[in-house]
Amino acid sequence: MSKASNAKRRQLVVGNWKMNGNLRENASLLAEVVAGWQGEHKSDVVICPPYPYLMHTHSLLAGSAIMLGAQTVNQYDKGAYTGEVSASMLADLDCKFVIIGHNERRRMQGETDEQVAHQFVAVQQAGLTPILCVGESLQDREQGCHLETIGRQLNAVFAHTGKDVFKNAVLAYEPVWAVGTGKTATPEQAEEVHRFMRAQLPDLADEIRILYGGSVKAHNAQQLFALPDIDGALLGGASLDADEFLAICSAAD
C-alpha cells in the first residue's frame, strides 16, 4: 500500500472514555475539545462516552464537527436483556459509530468472536458504523501467532457478513499487551499487522480505514500516522486530556 493510496483515506481519531467522567468533568473537557477543533479538517473525530452521558455529550457536541459514538452494543434489537442497549437505541441518540470487540469486553465480559460478529451485523442494520477491534495477547505475540489470532477474529465476522459490507466499517488493531500499559507496538510491528488486515479485504484495500489503538500519545502519534496503512487512532486515556487529545487529532489532520 503506497503513501498515495493512504492519502485517499480520511484519517479518524476515536476517543473512548471507557468508565470515566461525570457531568461537570465532561462539560469542561468537551468545551476545550470543541473550542480547539473548530473549522474544517482533513480528519474525523469521534467521542465515545459512557452510556449515561450519551445525551449530555450529544448536546455539548451540537454544532461542532465532532461525532458521537458508543462503547459497545447488544446484538439484539429489543427484549428481556436487563442493562443492555440496542443499536436502534443508539441510532435514536444520533450516534454514528459503535466500538465492538474491544479487548476489555472480550476479556472482562467474556464476549466471543461469535457475539462480536452478531453485534457487527446489528450495528450496520441500524445504519451505524461499527469499529471492529481485533488484537493479540502478549502470549500470542511472543509465540509468533499474532497474525493467526487476528485472522481468526476477522474471519468470525466475515463468515456472518461477507466482506463487501466492510465498505461501511472501520477496523482497529489493539495489541492487548499495549493497551493502557504505556507500551506501544513499534512502527514496524503496527505496520505489519495493519498491512495484514488490509490484505484480508483486497477489494476494499484503498477504502477501509484501519486504526491503531495501544498507548497512542501526542509524542508518537505523528510517527504512527505517517505509516501508509495506519489511518488514525482509537484512544483511551489520551482522550481524557483535552490538550493531549487535540494534539493527536492535529497529528492525524
Q: What percentage of the chain has pLDDT greater than the value 90?
A: 89
Q: Residue type for 128, please?
A: L
Contact 177, 138 (CB under 8 A): yes
Q: What percentage of the chain has pLDDT greater than the value 70?
A: 96
Contact 252, 34 (CB under 8 A): no
Q: Residue type for 189, please?
A: Q
Instruction: Domain of residue 92: give its range.
Output: 3-252
Range 51-58 average pLDDT: 98
The 3-state DSSP class for residue 111 equals: coil
Number of domains in the chain: 1
Range 218-226 average pLDDT: 93
In sequence order, what are the residues at sequence separation of 6 or more whose Cβ sits closer than 8 angstroms to the Cβ of residue 235? 13, 14, 15, 16, 213, 216, 245, 248
Range 105-123 average pLDDT: 96
> pTM of the predicted model, to two decimals?
0.95
Contact 101, 153 (CB under 8 A): yes
In sequence order, what are the residues at sequence separation of 6 or more whose Cβ sits closer than 8 angstroms to the Cβ of residue 35? none
pLDDT of 7 over the 70 cut: no
Read off the DSSP letter of residue 68: E
Q: How far apart are CA 253 and CA 248, in angstroms?
A: 9
> What pLDDT sits at residue 2?
39
pLDDT in tens, 170-187: 999 999 887 767 777 888
HSE-CB of 13 using CA atoms within 13 angstroms: 29
Q: How far apart are CA 208 and CA 192, in angstroms?
A: 16
pLDDT in tens, 117-162: 999 999 999 999 999 999 999 889 989 999 999 999 999 999 999 9
> What pLDDT sits at residue 218?
94
The H-or-E segment that residue 14 falls in is strand 12-16
> What pLDDT sits at residue 172?
98
The residues assigned a catalytic role are 102, 174
> What pLDDT sits at residue 6?
47
Label residue 8 by pLDDT band (50, 70, 90): low
Mean pLDDT of all residues in the chain? 94
> What pLDDT sits at residue 1?
40
Q: Which CATH number does the domain housing residue 78 bear? A: 3.20.20.70
> What pLDDT sits at residue 183?
75
pLDDT of 93 over the 90 cut: yes
> What pLDDT sits at residue 75?
97
